[in-house]
Chain A
Amino acid sequence: MTTDDASTSAETSGFKGWLAVLVGAVAITAALLAWMESEAARGEDVAKIDATRASIDVFVKLGASGPRYQFEVDSVRRTAVLTARAEARITASVATLLALQVQLDESLADNATAGRLLELAERLQDLPEGAPGLDEAASDSIRIRSEEDVEPLYESREEAQDRAAKYGGRQERAMYGLLLVAIGASLVGLAGLIGAGRSGNMALGAAGVTLLVALVTGASGLLL
């Protein structure tokens, strides 16, 4: 074997070694990026569902608390009507003494009724935390009393949307990384076809760089 033959053999052997390493690297990088893509997609899906369910929650709680609020306002309004009627009975012009006496007594009855009805309305407004057999979702849905009560629901939805955007970004980068792996795999195949030599080494080098960029691109999603 001449010196040139030995050198060519060593070069070919080295080329094949790197080719084998890159074939394995393609498989590993592709699997890794596919996992990152899958993991990001999972996170994004769950976060989007969380955001959607938070939106549903807002509507359900506002929709369910509305009738309760309306009832409570109406009950207080009824006592106001009774009180107003009691006053109106006194101030109204009455032609006879009997009618005046009856109106005065009815006014007293209206006033007393208004007071007791208000007590009842206040008792009905005071809801305990729950009831036997009542599910938590239904019990929670009638607790919205003001804009401040709705705020945590909006925040929860926005947090889920932000989470979905973050995972979406990761997924996009992992997908881009997979695209680069495909290009890298093509270059590895091309290098294999060309064989050892200047062109083959260049193709192999380009494949290695492409795979490295693919990995860095995918991993950069984790920084989001």
Chain B
Amino acid sequence: MADTATPADDSTAEVRDEPSDEANDFRVVILLSIAAIIGALIGGRAALLNDQGGDQLTDAVNADVRRGARIVGDVQRLYQEDASVALRVAEMQLLSEELAAVAGEQSDDEAVAILSGDAEANAFAAETLADSSSLLEGDTLAALGLEGADLLDRLAEIRDERSDELRALNPDALQAEAEDQLEASSRLMLLLVVVALAFLFGALAEVRSGSRRLLFTGGYACLAVAGVAALIIEASV
């Protein structure tokens, strides 16, 4: 096998100034040990961030369920309680007004008395029911002027009555935070490729005596780049 066909350069003539084999072995071990420590630190932090991100994703789902249940409950309260009562009040108030109107056009006193009585009964019932409505707050005429916007305003009020903890639920923000952590974890994992390059340089430095200095420099440069990048990523989390 010819020397030129191998990646190794075993020419020893140019390496008179190079340290002895034992000293070189020691330098390689130091480089690889530092690489292993930096790799372990980066890998460990990546695993931790990945775990935190995963937990936070689960928190986001839990928050989404709680928020969803609260929304359904709030909407039920609006439509099945407040709006429903308001519509009933409006119906009785309108009927009262219409009965009073037809009574006003009636000439027969007895018929007027019956219709007016019926109108007053409906008006009284409307007032009674309006007192129990959070949407109307006792104002029966307010029921006649209700619009869709009033329902949404009331829904906002209902949601505002919830505790601070429930109001602060924001699954989207939790998920975004979790994704940031997972992304940082992934970037740290990518840095391990740079650390692995240091392993390659260290291993080659063991056998390529001609370019040891360059290979050691490359190895330490890789470790420095990985370390600095890891610190930048850490600062951004």
Contacts and interface: CB of A to CB of B under 8 A. Distances in A.
A204 B8 CA distance: 15
A86 B115 CA distance: 14
B171 A27 contact: no
B140 interface: no
Interface in B186-222: 186, 189-190, 192-193, 195-197, 199-204, 206-208
Contacts of B17: none
A194 interface: no
Contact of A120 (B46, B90, B152, B196): B90
B168 to A, nearest CB: 11
Contacts of B40: none
B148 A123 contact: yes
Interface in B39-97: 46, 50, 53-54, 57, 60-61, 64-65, 67-69, 71-72, 74-76, 78-80, 83-84, 87, 90-91, 94-95
Contacts of B29: none
A13 B71 contact: no
Nearest to A24: B200
Interface in B164-200: 171, 175, 179, 182-183, 185-186, 189-190, 192-193, 195-197, 199-200
B1 A11 contact: yes
Instruction: Give the bracket for the number of chain A residues in contact with chain B.
Output: 35 or more
A13 B185 contact: no
B22 interface: no
A101 B108 contact: yes
A143 to B, nearest CB: 11
B2 interface: yes
Most buried by A among B105, B190, B202: B190
Contact of A67 (B10, B46, B68, B78): B78
B175 A128 contact: no
A160 B10 CA distance: 56
Contacts of A14: 1, 3, 5-8
A45 B164 CA distance: 29
Given A14-B1, A31-B192, 8 more contacts: A17-B207, A20-B200, A39-B186, A42-B186, A45-B182, A71-B84, A109-B115, A124-B148
9 contacts: A19-B203, A35-B193, A53-B175, A70-B79, A98-B110, A101-B111, A117-B87, A124-B83, A131-B149
